[in-house]
Amino acid sequence: MAPRGGRAAASSGSEDEEEEAGFSRSYFLAKEKEPLSGKKRARAAAGKLSDLNLVDEQVLRASLAEIPPKHKEEVEALTRSYKDQYRNWLFELRCGFGLLMYGFGSKKQLLEDFASTTLTDFTVVVINGYLPSVNLKQVIATIAEMFWDQTKAKRKRQPGTRSQLSQQFPSQSTEDIISFLMRQTSDDVDDRVCLLIHSVDGPALRDAESQQCLAQISCCPQVRVVASIDHVNAPLLWDKKMVHKQFKWSWYHVPTFAPYKVEGVFYPLILASGGHAQTTKTALVVLQSLTPNAQSVFRVLAEYQLANEKEEGMPVSSLYTKCRERFLVSSQVTLNSHLTEFKDHDLVKIRKHSDGQDCLRIPLVCDALEKLLQELA
Amino acid sequence: MSAAPCDTLPTAANNIQPFLVLHKAAASSVPSSRAKRRIQTSQPSSPNPKSANRCRQPAGEECEDEGDLELYEQLRVEAFHRTWSKIQSTIDEVLRAINLKLFDQVLQWAKESFASVRAITKPHQTEVQQPYPLLTDVICRRIPTAFVLTKNAEFVDDITTFHDLAEHMKSNGCHVVKLSAAELSAKHGVGGCFRSLLRQLLSDVSDVADVSALASWYCEAENFDQPIIVIIDDLEQCSGDVLGELVMMLSEWVFKIPVFFVMGIATTLDAPKKLLSSEALQRLEPCKLTLGSPSDRLNALVEAILVKPCAGFCISHEVALFLKNYFFRHDGTITSFITALRLACSKHFSMEPLSFLCIGMLEEDSEEFWHDKFESLPQAIRKYAFDLPSSKNANNSNNSCNMLEGLSRLLKLQKDWSSVLLCLYEAGIHDKVQLLDIFCEAVNPDLQTENAPDSYLFASKVTCENLLGVKSGSAKGFIAQVMNTIRYLPMEVLLHVLEVWSIHLKGMSEINDRVKELQSTTIGADSVRVKRRSTASTGNGTVVLNEKVAVLLQDVIRKYLVPVESLPFHEIICFKNVDILQSALIGNPRRMIQLDLLKSQSHLKCSCCRSGAAVSGSLHDTSIMCNLAQEYGDVINLHDWYTAFEGIIKSSNSKAKRKSYSSPSKKKSKATPPEGEGMIQARFCRAVTEMQITGLVRMPSKRRPDLVQRITFGP
């Protein structure tokens, strides 16, 4: 090996190892800090959240909106400093790469500024991936419709070619729409679309199917992708094929230190009513999606639990009897199907009663449960 | 549709819509045609009203510059596309050529299997469509199946291989269907999988997919006399049940509709046994084929793309080393190697203003191409060209003639370099030297200074400096190894090597003559050796000849193996910036996000936070929290965390207050309003949420509401 190469390789190797060692060292140091034997004692000795003088959730939310920005000028200057790179970013987009922005801070404003100042030749479609639900099919149908309109307009200009029947994209399957998009080349449509995805690792897009779908769109000839990630483990979302053949990411480290304002809206506040808000909320969402009968079964269980707080839970047999009395279920099978649904969504837990029979318990404290029942009504 | 066209800047509504159209493309601007026109005018920096019109700022000269900027940027984009498509097509060719042997084997196998199936029975077309199977004997219901061992742990390289295989089979008349692991999943079931099979063969598929549709399609005259090859590229990823069902179903029909399988296996031949039920396995008639290894492919690629100047784009020594390490340490896939190269290429064209001249290397008359381009170069870019470090070293007279000469010489020397390198490799093969290794050594700019530079070569100052540090360990290079190999090569091999050399060195007549001369003496020596064999003195002549060849090679290396980095104007074609490549190729959010937070001052460059000292309250809130979190184990007690956070905020507030009495600056007064508990708690909440979004901590579980879990340890 060339002398210099050898040295470079060796030095980078030792760096890697050092890094690795550093990583494991800090992990074990962290583990050490919590002595295993005295774990329980340590925790008991440590303070509890309830010891703090927590303000009311409403006050908390009101203050949240009024947090004075720190380093406002510096953050703005930092964001401005990326403006110089816009042209390079555009260049790489034109070369067929996807841009992936990462680093601490909300990149929403940065990317939208980039899009509106530099990507003027593109039609820019924004996906807010930080929202809890995004319908990707709608997105691709919109893009497909745009392309379709252009193709039609083009065909009209060229006499002799008959325009095909209009396409109903929203009613087609995702695969069909994607294969339509794949067929569109610069001959068919003039405009290129840039898909601007905020938090491509966001909660709505974190599943494999969404990522597959995005990966497929990103390799359509007339589509380019600019995306941001926030989570440290985001790269785990993609396999080799997606990274190298579809997304073709070019990474950029662009910390902005801008507050995650919109991105954080859907996260529960850690100091708000000890996290109950979240569970009540999620439980409510699940319950509302169930049939009225199932809701009533849940209500029976909840009322029993509120009335008999000290007990370990409600025996399945007594729940069945109660529900039959109220004509909520006709057989054990129907009840079981409801219970399975509850269990799948963590609405109830099954425990063995001390006398041996299964009993059901809703894993919520009384206050939360009461609140849930009120809201369900 | 929820998306509404919206031209204004992001508003609150934009934040909560799942998606929206931010803006439509501006009325189609096609700068490429303008750019060409502009370049063709070939008047140096003539005021062009068209280019000026496009500028946003109507400020005379600046405007002109920006117009030029855009034009040349467009040129570079085009140059990138041309260069890369050339490289890509070279890659495709090379890979196809390497795989061709396997492809032919598969084709042969398909033909033989088809013949043997037809030998047992040849159903009439009408028979095929009958619903009942022709034969019920188990032995006769076996589907010929080729298992292709890919020898790749990573599947991604094989995607192209199997794609090419499909093309190859298609072009040889077979009907080809490709089923992916996604289609052979439990989710789609055998129905979905069969439908996708039909969809690839039939023009329109009804909703009810059954074999009779396939049978009637197969009976059409133009489809009848060919087998149907089903290629499953990634067997291990398929659902065994679905595949088993498909096998069972198709095996019933194999004599009427000859469907054969080609299955790619990444692990070992055990894979199908593990995956399929014994019943399904029985219905397969296996045949084993093997693909070439990734390192063979890499060698071939390096030769075609990096050594032979196929596209006028090349990489520096550092980049070459990086790519090599990236290949061997990252995942060993050709795909990631190509991705890295592609990124390097785009970075080069993006950053190097003169890079559009690269494509001149591809032109038939490079000089004329460059000449035309130079004439129209604006003054600023011209100046830039003569300010390139490499050209400064070489010459000081600024004229295009000079630059033309420089580029032409660059082209010529590059060609020589690659010929010599190939000669080296040819000899090195016999000692199992990898081309990538020799390549990395041959692009090393230190090499040239080592080899006692001839007067006409331009050793740059930089390389001389580099040399001082590294020369000591240079003895054990790959090139030295090759030299050594040559000294001990047996005569027959040496002859062969010389023969190949004379092919490689065709363009260099002077050297080629010397090779020819050696060849002729070799033949002489050979006969001498044969005569002497009886006397058992093992060819004294051979040793002399080996030595002669070695001397020749040494000589050639010294003269012609000039690394591109020591040539003037090499910046135009050579990509050097390894750091930029690395950061764009390998993002490391886990490390970088933590570093962002722990060293926020270095990004924000504020005056208020001092680095190194204890956590100061003026830091970014999340940064404070992240710093505090370092004190904890794998779980963080929320109460303690909050108390610590509160302490820091309060202490800094009181400090600020004290200061604000003496110097009531505007900034401080902003931070001073008495912060109630509520505000601090809100700030705490937001910081935790931000850490949660970035994945640094996990929320408390219901069982342990007072503890959050730390996920990342040490940047």
Contact B694 A52 (CB under 8 A): no
Q: Hey, how many other C-beta atoms are within 10 angstroms of the C-beta on A272?
A: 20
Q: Could you say which of B17, B590, B690 has the minimum Cβ distance to residue A128?
A: B17
Residues A104 and A205 in one domain: yes
- B446 Cα to chain A: minimum distance (Å): 8
pLDDT of residue B401: 66
pLDDT digits (tens, 9 = 90+) for A18-44: 555 566 666 666 666 555 444 444 444
Q: Which domain holds residue A370?
A: 275-376
pLDDT of residue B322: 94
Q: Hey, how many other C-beta atoms are within 10 angstroms of the C-beta on A280?
A: 23
Partner A contacted by B640 (CB < 8 A): yes
By the 10 Å C-beta count (0-12 exposed, 13-18 middle, 19+ buried), A310 is classed as exposed
Residues A291 and A360 in one domain: yes
| Residue A89's CATH number | 3.40.50.300
Q: What percent of chain B has pLDDT over 70?
A: 78
Residues A137 and A248 in one domain: yes
Whether A248 is covered by a domain: the verdict is yes
Question: Has the ipTM of the complex gone over 0.90?
Answer: no
Q: Once rounded to an integer, what is the mean pLDDT over residues B444-462?
A: 52
How far apart CA B573 and CA B344 sit, in angstroms, is 12
CB B590 within 8 A of CB B712: yes
Residues A183 and A213 in one domain: yes
Contact B596 A249 (CB under 8 A): no
Residues A140 and A109 in one domain: yes
Contact B596 A104 (CB under 8 A): yes
What residues of chain B lie within 8 A of the CB of A141, using their CB?
Answer: 1
pLDDT of residue B292: 81
A-interface mutation test, from B586, B593, B635, most A Cβ less than 10 A away? B593
pLDDT band at B110; cut points 50, 70, 90: very high
The number of domains in chain A is: 2
Domain B97-292 fold is Rossmann fold (3.40.50)
Segment among A332-336, B277-281, B556-560, B669-673 with least mean pLDDT = B669-673
Query: Among B429, B421, B456, B428, which Cα is nearest to B563's?
Result: B421
Partner B contacted by A230 (CB < 8 A): yes
What is the radius of gyration, based on Cα positions, of chain B?
34
CB B277 within 8 A of CB B234: no
How far apart CA A324 and CA A317 sit, in angstroms, is 11
Contact B605 A262 (CB under 8 A): no
Q: Hey, how many other C-beta atoms are within 10 angstroms of the C-beta on B507?
A: 12
CB A246 within 8 A of CB A215: yes
Residues A209 and A286 in one domain: no
Whether A144 is covered by a domain: the verdict is yes
- B338 Cα to chain A: minimum distance (Å): 9
Residues A228 and A110 in one domain: yes
| Residue A315's CATH number | 1.10.10.10
DSSP A231: S
pLDDT of residue A30: 66
pLDDT of residue A49: 77
What residues of chain B lie within 8 A of the CB of A92, using their CB?
Answer: 346, 350
How far apart CA B385 and CA B387 sit, in angstroms, is 5
Residues A88 and A176 in one domain: yes
H/E element, B153 = none
**A195 phi and psi angles, rounded to 5 deg:** -90, 115
pLDDT of residue A123: 92
Helices (H) and strands (E) in chain B, counts: 32, 11
Helix ranges, chain A (H):
3-33, 39-45, 57-65, 72-81, 86-94, 108-118, 136-157, 174-183, 208-218, 240-241, 276-288, 292-307, 316-325, 332-344, 366-376
What residues of chain A lie within 8 A of the CB of B691, using their CB?
Answer: none
pLDDT digits (tens, 9 = 90+) for B560-586: 888 888 888 888 889 999 999 999 998
What residues of chain B lie within 8 A of the CB of A126, using their CB?
Answer: 14, 19-22
Instruction: Say yes or no to pLDDT of B78 above 60.
Output: yes
Partner A contacted by B349 (CB < 8 A): yes
pLDDT digits (tens, 9 = 90+) for B465-508: 343 333 333 446 888 888 888 888 888 888 889 899 988 888 88
pLDDT band at B524; cut points 50, 70, 90: low
Partner A contacted by B703 (CB < 8 A): no
pLDDT band at B398; cut points 50, 70, 90: low
CA-angle at B507, arms to B484 and B515, nearest 5°: 40
Query: Which amino acid belongs to residue B34?
Result: R
Partner A contacted by B711 (CB < 8 A): yes
The DSSP string of B305-318 is IIITTSSS-EE-HH
Average pLDDT, rounded, for chain A: 82
Whether A20 is covered by a domain: the verdict is no
pLDDT digits (tens, 9 = 90+) for A109-120: 999 999 999 999
What residues of chain B lie within 8 A of the CB of A4, using their CB?
Answer: 317, 444, 446, 466, 470
pLDDT of residue B464: 38
What is B589-652+676-710's CATH number?
1.10.10
Residues A189 and A110 in one domain: yes
pLDDT digits (tens, 9 = 90+) for A155-206: 777 655 444 555 678 888 888 889 888 888 888 787 889 999 999 999 889 9
pLDDT band at B407; cut points 50, 70, 90: confident
> What residue segments make up the domains of chain B, in order of their start?
97-292, 297-450+477-526+542-579, 589-652+676-710
Whether A33 is covered by a domain: the verdict is no
Q: Once rounded to an integer, what is the mean pLDDT over residues B514-532?
A: 65
Q: Does B589-652+676-710 match B97-292 at the fold level?
A: no
Segment among A231-245, B210-224, B441-455, B596-610 with least mean pLDDT = B441-455
